[in-house]
A and B are shown apart, each in its own frame.
Chain A
Amino acid sequence: MLKLQDIHYNIGGKQILSNVNVQFTPGHLHMILGPNGSGKTSLMKIASGQIEKFQGLVSYDNLSIKEITTAALATYRSYLSQQNNIPFPIKVIELIQMGRYPHYEYQATTKDYEIIHEIIDQLEINHLQNRDFNTLSGGEQQRVQFARVLAQVWDKTLGKNRFLFLDEPLNNLDIQFQKYLLQTIQKFISDDMVVIMVVHDINWALAYADKVYLLKEGNLVAQGKPTEVITSSLIANVFNVNVQIINIPGQKHPIVAF
């Protein structure tokens, strides 16, 4: 379990996050929603160990993040960021292999290669393997980066909970692949896996999240099951947009119309 207790964070006097308390439980898909500048990415960076100067406590399975080395954390926590700019030509297969870096010293093992190929098969990106990453489309790049972060925490035999952070992973993807990616994530979530994700589309949260978190101006306004959190009054409060929550007969989850 990933626990955030009494998190306060400010940059240059400006309060970015205040008094955030969250517990991200294994086996669930957690989705963070909020307007631009509400502190979503800061929350992800603090929880994943990238930002170190914050007040409060972040703990992975009851161990404070301050006591975990960068190298050790990388064996069971991976992070997909929004940056895809690579200034040099690089082969897709080489990029995905980097996901296994935390797990070997100098030479990748057979197991590492097995994992890489399993993921390439599962994500159906065999045809991209030998391409230069920079010649791919935005959506293809996103899939390749997703394969890399998945490779990093793929191994179920660690005997440890695994944590996957995805910062707006649906950007650049068409709806077909957005759906495919979400279904893939759902399929991969096992009892020892925590997935935390920032999304913009409220409908995806309704359809796929196990738990939803609403951030507004650095405050956690609501958290809980999607249908409990995504109500017209809360959405109006957080996003300043009036929406209707519509139940469609025969569908498992409602949709948001605005």
Chain B
Amino acid sequence: MFNKKNTIYLVSSILLCLIMLASIQWGAVSITNQQMSDAIQHFFQGKAPSSIYEGVFLQIRLPRVLLCLFSGAILSVSGVFMQGLFRNPLVEPGIIGTSAGAAFGASIVFVLAVYLPLEYKSLVGPLLVPLFAFMGAILATFLVYAVSKSQQKTNVLSILLVGLAINAMGLSGMGFMTYLARDPQARSINFWNLGTFSGANWQQVLIVMSLLIIVIFSIFNFIKPLNALLLGEEEALHLGVNIKQFRRKILLINTIMVAIVTSFVGVIGFVGLIVPHIVRQFVGSDHKKILPASMIIGAAVLLLADLLARLLLAPSEIPIGIITSLVGAPIFIFLLKKNLFIKSDA
């Protein structure tokens, strides 16, 4: 009944559920199955949590796990989108500077919001942060894209070098904001450089979940163009893909994805690189299979990284970006060695 193709979905889904369960139960405070079911029962009966454990489960652990799950899926899909668009297995939002751009945009709001008149302050968090993150991300994306298109023949190296420069720009921008900031904010910006899920709340979960649902529905229209792009931009055009329109659409949705996730949890590098790479080993290059598998495996990978971030030095926490970079960088070097001399476009 299960062929090889379905096995990957089955195995990764089971794995995801196990990691999710572990992520909910393990941590600075351990939560038992009994406490979990009590908390859910009490929640649906409209009663207040009967113990501190139920409170931790409902207000801290569960939103954190869900935010991490959805963010992992989104960052991985973003990696797939960018690799497809640039025709290059080495790009992802962390590496080519999209995330750094988003983080810089968001840090501007964080620091300068202090100077806003009081009556606007309630608007600041939910609206301005993602908006500025979006502007930073889109600027970074267009810089990379413009450079990669300005030459007749783009090679992998030039995209990566531009990404490096944009990352440095984003980082120095954030550094400057840290310098301007008053102390508590400065610490939160620093933490953000490396990403963290420690501030997760239900509002963020709902926003990221809605985003993921929109992405899932729009994916159906991206499968054929992304596959056709494997052959080259000209080939995709001859296969009926309106390349200009498609490029605008996918860049827009990708930038929104990266901006929202980054404005909530900071820069988490390499997930968008590692996950599609793993997925391709199992399902090949058809985006009909790559996209759903990347979501499941991306969610599992990021949850695992977050679990490690919480457990390695428990009860204190390591920023999750340290874990993902530690694992991702060697894979990046391996891929770099394999792909550096492939020309990414004709």
B82 to chain A, nearest CB (A): 13
Q: In A59-115, which residues have CB < 8 Å from any B CB?
A: 69-75, 77-79, 81-83, 85-91, 94-95, 98-99, 101-102, 106
Are the C-beta atoms of A83 and B346 separated by less than 8 Å?
A: yes
Residue in chain B with minimal CB distance to A104: B224
Q: A83-B346, A101-B224 known; A50 and B242 CB under 8 Å?
A: no
Question: Which of B232, B339, B342, B344 contacts A81 (CB under 8 A)?
Answer: B232
B342:A85 contact, CB within 8 angstroms: yes
Q: For B228, list chain A residues within 8 Å (CB).
A: 98, 101
* In the complex, residue of chain A having the shortest beta-carbon distance to the beta carbon of B239: A101
A38 contacts the other chain (CB 8 A): no
A94 and B238 contact, Cβ closer than 8 Å, known pairs A81-B232, A85-B343, A88-B230: no
Q: In this complex, what residue of A is CB-closest to B88?
A: A87
Decide yes or no whether B285 CB sits under 8 A from chain A: yes
A-B contact count, CB below 8 Å?
80
Let me know if A88 and B232 touch, CB within 8 A: no
- Tell whether A85 pairs with B346 under 8 Å between CB atoms, given A70-B237, A90-B230, A94-B285: yes
In the bound complex, residues from chain B placing their C-beta under 8 Å from that of A106 are 220, 223
Bound state CA distance, A98 and B228, in angstroms? Answer: 7
Pairwise interchain contact B238-A77, C-beta atoms closer than 8 A: yes
Q: Chain A nearest CB: distance from B255 CB in Å?
A: 22
A70-B241, A101-B228 as given contacts; A89 in contact with B235, CB under 8 Å: no
Cβ of A25 < 8 Å from any Cβ of B?
no
Considering the complex, give the chain A residue whose CB is closest to the CB of B346. A83
- Given the complex, which residues of B lie within 8 Å of A85, measured CB to CB? 232, 342-343, 346
CA distance A98 to B287 in the complex (A): 12
Chain B's closest residue to A85 (CB) is B343
Known: A87-B87, A98-B227. A74 touches B240 (CB 8 A): yes
Set of chain A residues within 8 Å of B224, measured between Cβ atoms: 101
CA distance A168 to B344 in the complex (A): 22
Q: A71-B242, A94-B227 are in contact. List 8 more A-B contacts (CB 8 A).
A: A48-B238, A81-B232, A81-B235, A95-B231, A98-B239, A99-B239, A101-B228, A102-B239
What are 29 residue pairs bridging A and B, where the CB atoms are less than 8 Å apart in the complex? A48-B238, A50-B234, A50-B238, A70-B240, A71-B240, A72-B240, A73-B240, A74-B239, A78-B238, A79-B234, A83-B232, A83-B346, A85-B342, A86-B232, A87-B88, A87-B89, A87-B339, A87-B342, A89-B280, A89-B285, A90-B230, A91-B284, A91-B285, A94-B227, A98-B227, A98-B231, A99-B239, A106-B220, A152-B239
* B interface residue numbers (CB < 8 A to A): 83, 87-89, 220, 223-224, 227-228, 230-232, 234-235, 237-242, 280, 284-286, 339, 342-344, 346
Using a CB–CB cutoff of 8 Å, the interface residues on chain A facing chain B are: 48-50, 69-75, 77-79, 81-83, 85-91, 94-95, 98-99, 101-102, 106, 152
